[in-house]
Structure 1
Amino acid sequence: MYSDSGSISFDATDADAAEDTAVSSASQDPSIPASRNPSPPCGDDAPNVRRRRWLFVAAVLATMSLLMLSMARTLSPGGLDAWDWVLLICFGFTLPWTLIGFWNAVIGLALMRLYQDPLARVFPLDLGANAPLDQRVAILSCIRNEDAATVFRNLDRMVAGLVERGVVDRFDVHLLSDSTWEECIAAEDRGMAAFRARWGETLSVEYRRRLDNPGFKAGNIAEFMARRGEDYDLALVLDADSLMDTETLLRMVRIMGANPRLGILQTLVVGLPSSSAFARVFQFGMRFGMRSYTLGSAWWQGDCGPYWGHNALLRVRPFVEHCGLPLLPGRGPLSGWVLSHDQVEAVLMRRAGYEVRVLPEETGSYEENPTTLLEYIRRDLRWCQGNLQYLKLLGTPGLHPLSRIQLVLAILMFVGSPFWVLLMAIAASRAFLDTGTPLFDPAYDVPLLFTILTMVFAPKLASVIDVLADAERRRSFGGAPRVLLGALGEALFSTLLAPVLAIAHSVFMAGLAFGKKLVWGPQRRAAHAVPVALAWHRLWPQTLLGCAATLALTLHSGVTMALLSPFFVGALLAVPIAVWSADPRLGYGVTRARLWAIPEELGPSPFLASLDLEAVRLAGGSTHPIQPPEPSLDVAAATSAERSS
């Protein structure tokens, strides 16, 4: 059932027994049984935290009520007919995710500007500064048909850092593979042989490959926990592109050691410097939206925080005892194994009485971001399918009320997209028909539009304000002009991108209703060009809708065109955006110009500098031209998955 490359043998009997244990919680019953040996509740249900949560809920609901009233007044010329009510309902479904982001940003900005140590306001735990490193830690690197060279490069840097600090005896490395393609398996074998030759006498190194992959990544980890979990106190979960520097890892281990009721500790994950134009814009925007949003959410979520499935520490015993995932019943695309496993495991850990927290600091925890729009959409649709499975888990008994709300919000994250598309399509159609009555009240439409845009961009605006107000952080991003220019460019890009993503989500969810689902394949991580034909093949629905709506609005003068056209122009330009943002020449230009640069690129730590990343070299003045990358394992693998999905 699995292969250990130390002996290059297969032991089906032992593996089957381990796997049976690992997935014993799976059943045809979609509900998860009540937790065994329930633990006492965490301390974050204190009155002050409950007040924060009620205050946050009240702020969101009050704002939503005001916006709904404003939208009703905006649609009021000629009275509210049936189509106006449809528009109003669609508008309401788009609001929750936007409003939560807005209030998280407001709270986050207040914490950043009013307190010298905002972390202390949202992370009331012992940071374990002097705690001994007496925990046994398993480093779990999960891989499936990925570029093995990158995986072993990252593991090599992490182990080298632990050796330098003299603490490597507390850690073991486990490469958990679900690879099925021969060339990837061969590369893993070669990489593991070299890795063992260097580190095999320093720490325990294990390579285990399953012959099939029930449960995908979650099943992979569950099999490890059943087979080896009793040997460890903590497990560091890494994806194939994950990287963590030594200081961050040791700090997390000490925090977990000092707080025995902490079940999951999640880090903020920073994008590695990239020479892809798309990745640069994306990770720049993520970087500016991340800190304020996460600080704000941690203020009211407290011990019911998020788990994103990687770059996080798990406490092994409660994870094994309480976080088993069900096998969802039925035969449709929302049945079977839980795909977006992370948030489910988080709410089960919290149900068991253990805290789940995020460390809202931009520390040395890294990942690689998608390098093209097509790869970003493919990843987004995988998450969409996984999050919609939560519909079958909302009735899970014993969940903390906030945990149940988090599952609902994860669903609404994608469900809002078809309502946006429907709202815009109906509004454009009614504008084209032009009954003689204005669609929008001119006294309300523009103010409402700018209010919504402000709320959408609030997390990024909050962090821009904070960076500009802090001389040291301002310099780390290359100075105020680069911050402002980058923020404006990213805002324009994300505005054009929003309809492309919303339409992709909508088309995909329509397909789910007819049984269509995605192949759960690897991410194509290397920078590469996108052919026009491939972009058209993936983005023709956006292009056709954008073309039709833009033409209709062009024939209709007035404020309606100004309000709706940005949405449809972005859809119309979907193919050019996908092709241009992936062009290696554009990537070379913006990287050399340090546009959308992040601090890790402009002032890399010795740890990051050892990776010799192309973006760091170019930002430092290298004139070595970017060549189109040779097909590598991850490129070949993802191309195969792209064709089969």
Structure 2
Amino acid sequence: MAQTEADQRIIFARRAIFAVLCLGTMAWTLWLAILTLRPGGFGPLDLVALSLFAIILPWMVVGFWNAVIGFIILRFSPDPVAAVLPVAGSVRGNERITASTAILMCTRNEHPARIIRNLEPMLEGLHASGFADRFHLYVLSDTNDPEFAIGEEARFSELIATWRDRIAMTYRRRTVNTGFKAGNIRDFCERWGDHHELAVTLDADSFMPSDAILRLVRIMQLDPRIGILQGLIVGLPSTSLFARIFQFGMRLGMRSYTIGSAWWQSDCGPYWGHNAVLRLEPFIKHCQLPLLSDAGEEEQHILSHDQIEAVLMRAAGYHVRVVPQDDLGWEENPPTLLEFMRRDVRWCQGNMQYWRFVSQPGLKPVSRYQLVLAILMFIGSPAWVGLLALTTAALVLCDSPSTVIEPDAGKALLLWLLVMWFSPKIARALDILFSPRECRSFGGASRFVINLAIETIFSILLSPILWISHTIFLTGLLFNREIHWLGQVRDDHAVPFREALLRLWPQTIIGCGSLGLVAMSQPSALPYMLLLAAGPAVAVPLAVITSLPALGELAARIGVGRLPEETATPEDLLELALPAIKSANPAPLPTSV
């Protein structure tokens, strides 16, 4: 299935259109920003503000146009997945599975009972499909906690014994976490990689139903050009209030954004490290990660391996594709703001390593763009914090806001920024509201709109908290402060006020300080400053309140953050016996006699 010249011309045209749209939008938005800063003349501070604004702009503009294109495809294509991945439309679902496929479950200091709970429905489905002999489950442990290790080995030995005659399984534990997760998979490749054609990658919090695995494998069998096939990942129903609101927004934003990006990225798609299928031969040959080192420094392993592996696979001539549908796999999201921040700064550290690869010979132009955008995702945070500081200082020092900001242009710029900021969620929300069936799956139009409003306020509060967190971490990174790959706390738990204050006092000081100064000097500007500073000001109570298990349980019962899986639960998810699904569908009261 070689790519024809016509296919290449179509892909080039799409990328050219997307580039023109993005560059034109950025130029127009910068012009609007210049008009906004026009009062009082354009001085050095205005130039600094415009430069910071230019750093944050690409991420927002790309997200806007991905969302617009995704919305058009969702609304007007009879098969949105096939529109961006034509081979997916050729899968009937009854093709034989001929490829030997390894399923790689990567774990490190995790509770084995939770992993086994997620694995068994998948194993049962594979066995029922009649193709279990084509699959081999590998539990690849990097557990270094002796207490965890003892229980882990015992539980997985029981699992292997239980499934011995139905599906092949292997458990292996490394005592040293060399290379982090990428090193764990590389160790598998060196030991057993030549035994299999494909590998499905799973994280400890992943759940993939057997139907999803079979569908992705069938696509890989149909198109030998694909080296990595990524499935869309959504959040598992949760009883954490923080996770419920966050993953409701994630559910809205991901599909429109991913469909839009897949339309023009085409064969240079994303890889998120799990819930995906790898073609092992090219992966082993071309995707081994190099060690990082600077003069006089100790060699380092790459922390965020996935996108580097994707660009290396594409550089080797193989396609990296994504299947943007919502039922291919789930993951557990962090249950509290503090746990989310801990995972987020690990991603931040990993993405900052990408600058070493941007100029690497042999990479595709779109691959270089992906690396740059991944870096800008976090570099944009200090730019936002700088804009907050400059705006606060300008309002405190001026006689009137109109002497530093042109009111009409400023309001237009603010409205446009909000549209771009929320465009992926707006696009998907409109798509859902136009579909009565999908609306019902989210609990009905009224509940959906209320949840959309809650999530919008939540995002406005959360984003500046993360900007400050990234800025503090990136500043420490300049002085060689780094973090290590630690296990994630996945169970619901309350965050004590003292712990929240110890972690979030910088956000609190910045937010309260900014709002207090503006309230004293220019109170009329306070409503606008709330967009940037309200979240940091209330970071501590937000962390505490959204962690309370009782509130999470209540939210699940009344439908705050309701997901389609809580309205009509797929059979595979029913087998997980998730508390959130039980709370969303409580047992009926007994009838009195």
**TM-score, normalised on structure 1?**
0.89
Corresponding residue to 1:174 among 126, 134, 138? 138
Contact kept in structure 1, 2:118 and 2:207, CA below 8 Å = yes
Query: Where do residues 49-448 of structure 1 align in structure 2 (5 Å cutoff)?
Result: 49-125=11-87, 127-129=90-92, 130-330=94-294, 336-435=300-399, 438-448=403-413
What is the Cα deviation at residue 43 of structure 1?
A: 7.3
Question: Following the alignment from structure 1 to structure 2, what is the Cα–Cα distance between the partners of residues 565 and 295?
Answer: 33
Q: Deviations over 1:287-311 (max 9, x none)?
A: 0111111110000000000000000
Corresponding residue to 1:456 among 401, 421, 446? 421
What is the Cα deviation at residue 562 of structure 1?
A: 2.6
Where 2:517 maps in the other structure, the secondary structure is helix
What is the Cα deviation at residue 165 of structure 1?
A: 1.6
Question: Following the alignment from structure 1 to structure 2, what is the Cα–Cα distance between the partners of residues 334 and 563?
Answer: 47
Contact kept in structure 2, 1:44 and 1:302, CA below 8 Å = no
Question: Following the alignment from structure 2 to structure 1, what is the Cα–Cα distance between the partners of residues 113 and 293?
Answer: 38
Corresponding residue to 2:450 among 485, 498, 504? 485
Contact kept in structure 2, 1:385 and 1:517, CA below 8 Å = yes
- Amino acid across the alignment from 2:91: G
Matching residue of 1:48: 10
What is the Cα deviation at residue 557 of structure 1?
A: 2.5
Query: What root-mean-square deviation, in Å, do the aligned CA atoms of Structure 1 and Structure 2 show?
Result: 1.8
Corresponding residue to 1:528 among 473, 481, 493? 493
Give the 4+ runs in structure 1 shifted more than 4 A.
Answer: 39-45, 331-335
Matching residue of 1:564: 529
Q: Deviations over 1:198-242 (max 9, x none)?
A: 102222211111121210100010011011001001000000011
- Amino acid across the alignment from 2:442: F
What is the Cα deviation at residue 332 of structure 1?
A: 9.7
Corresponding residue to 1:513 among 473, 478, 503? 478
Question: Following the alignment from structure 2 to structure 1, what is the Cα–Cα distance between the partners of residues 248 and 81?
Answer: 22
Question: Following the alignment from structure 1 to structure 2, what is the Cα–Cα distance between the partners of residues 319 and 332?
Answer: 31
Matching residue of 1:586: 551
- Residues 583, 247 of structure 1: alpha-carbon distance in 2 compared, 3 angstrom cutoff: same
* Number of equivalences: 586
Question: Following the alignment from structure 1 to structure 2, what is the Cα–Cα distance between the partners of residues 390 and 588?
Answer: 40
Where 1:208 maps in the other structure, the secondary structure is strand
Question: Following the alignment from structure 2 to structure 1, what is the Cα–Cα distance between the partners of residues 310 and 149?
Answer: 31
- Amino acid across the alignment from 2:370: Q
- Amino acid across the alignment from 2:292: L
Greater CA deviation, 428-437 or 495-504? 428-437
Query: Is 1:465 the counterpart of 2:437 in the alignment?
Result: no
Greater CA deviation, 563-572 or 122-131? 122-131
Query: Is 1:595 the counterpart of 2:560 in the alignment?
Result: yes
What is the Cα deviation at residue 333 of structure 1?
A: 9.8
Question: Following the alignment from structure 1 to structure 2, what is the Cα–Cα distance between the partners of residues 460 and 440?
Answer: 29
- Residues 87, 560 of structure 1: alpha-carbon distance in 2 compared, 3 angstrom cutoff: farther
Contact kept in structure 2, 1:333 and 1:517, CA below 8 Å = no
Contact kept in structure 2, 1:333 and 1:516, CA below 8 Å = no
Where 1:510 maps in the other structure, the secondary structure is helix
- Amino acid across the alignment from 2:562: A
Q: Deviations over 1:465-505 (max 9, x none)?
A: 00011111111111100110000110001001111000000
Contact kept in structure 1, 2:112 and 2:156, CA below 8 Å = no
What is the Cα deviation at residue 128 of structure 1?
A: 3.2
- Residues 486, 467 of structure 1: alpha-carbon distance in 2 compared, 3 angstrom cutoff: same
What is the Cα deviation at residue 330 of structure 1?
A: 2.9
Contact kept in structure 2, 1:175 and 1:206, CA below 8 Å = yes
What is the Cα deviation at residue 247 of structure 1?
A: 1.1
Greater CA deviation, 432-441 or 54-63? 432-441
Contact kept in structure 2, 1:303 and 1:355, CA below 8 Å = yes
Q: Deviations over 1:95-148 (max 9, x none)?
A: 111111100000011111112212222112254324321010101000011111
Contact kept in structure 2, 1:307 and 1:343, CA below 8 Å = yes
- Residues 478, 461 of structure 1: alpha-carbon distance in 2 compared, 3 angstrom cutoff: same
Where 1:265 maps in the other structure, the secondary structure is strand
Matching residue of 2:502: 537
Q: Deviations over 1:52-81 (max 9, x none)?
A: 001101111111111111111101111011
Where 1:48 maps in the other structure, the secondary structure is helix
Contact kept in structure 2, 1:128 and 1:257, CA below 8 Å = no
Where 1:555 maps in the other structure, the secondary structure is helix
Contact kept in structure 2, 1:139 and 1:171, CA below 8 Å = yes
- Residues 320, 41 of structure 1: alpha-carbon distance in 2 compared, 3 angstrom cutoff: farther
Contact kept in structure 1, 2:349 and 2:482, CA below 8 Å = yes
Matching residue of 2:517: 552
- Amino acid across the alignment from 1:59: L
What is the Cα deviation at residue 588 of structure 1?
A: 1.4
Matching residue of 1:33: none
Where 2:383 maps in the other structure, the secondary structure is helix
* Identity within the alignment, %: 46
- Amino acid across the alignment from 1:337: H
Question: Following the alignment from structure 2 to structure 1, what is the Cα–Cα distance between the partners of residues 227 and 156?
Answer: 31
Question: Following the alignment from structure 2 to structure 1, what is the Cα–Cα distance between the partners of residues 434 and 417?
Answer: 25
- Residues 574, 511 of structure 1: alpha-carbon distance in 2 compared, 3 angstrom cutoff: same
- Residues 335, 402 of structure 1: alpha-carbon distance in 2 compared, 3 angstrom cutoff: farther
Question: Following the alignment from structure 2 to structure 1, what is the Cα–Cα distance between the partners of residues 154 and 146?
Answer: 12
What is the Cα deviation at residue 383 of structure 1?
A: 0.4
Question: Following the alignment from structure 1 to structure 2, what is the Cα–Cα distance between the partners of residues 374 and 333?
Answer: 31
What is the Cα deviation at residue 561 of structure 1?
A: 2.6
- Amino acid across the alignment from 1:84: D
Question: Following the alignment from structure 2 to structure 1, what is the Cα–Cα distance between the partners of residues 404 and 549?
Answer: 44
Contact kept in structure 1, 2:91 and 2:218, CA below 8 Å = yes
Contact kept in structure 2, 1:104 and 1:294, CA below 8 Å = yes
Where 2:136 maps in the other structure, the secondary structure is strand
- Residues 227, 537 of structure 1: alpha-carbon distance in 2 compared, 3 angstrom cutoff: same
- Residues 91, 499 of structure 1: alpha-carbon distance in 2 compared, 3 angstrom cutoff: same
Question: Following the alignment from structure 2 to structure 1, what is the Cα–Cα distance between the partners of residues 113 and 155?
Answer: 7
What is the Cα deviation at residue 328 of structure 1?
A: 0.4
Contact kept in structure 1, 2:395 and 2:522, CA below 8 Å = no
Query: Where do residues 14-29 of structure 1 align in structure 2 (5 Å cutoff)?
Result: none
